[in-house]
Amino acid sequence: MFLYPRNYKIYRIYKIMEVEFLSTINKIFKEIADEKYIGIVFLRVVSFFYLIGSNLIGLFPFVFRFTAHIYITLGLGLVLWIRFFLIG
């Protein structure tokens, strides 16, 4: 196994891409909501990507989607529904 030391060009390019990605995500969150509501926006985005990812896994043959189970669907749906009505 070959490990790259931290001073190689590949590591620097990776770090630059990581910093750019995180700063872009930070700018997008600040455009969507104020500082007061940034946690709610983050929770919505994470929930969205969780559902998309878990449903895309179900497209592979012989893989059971756990979002097809009624308890997962009701749990996520009720939590999001109640949160929507309480927060607005």
- Give 35's DSSP letter: G
Q: Is the pTM of this model over 0.75?
A: no
Which of 30, 12, 22, 72 has its CA nearest to residue 47?
72
- Give 66's DSSP letter: G
Show pLDDT as tens, one digit a residue, over the chain (88 residues). Answer: 455 566 666 677 788 888 898 888 778 777 777 777 777 777 777 878 888 888 788 788 887 777 777 887 788 788 878 877 887 6
Task: Name the phi and psi angles at 15, rounded to 5.
Answer: -65, -40
Q: Which two tokens stand for residue 44?
A: 């919505």
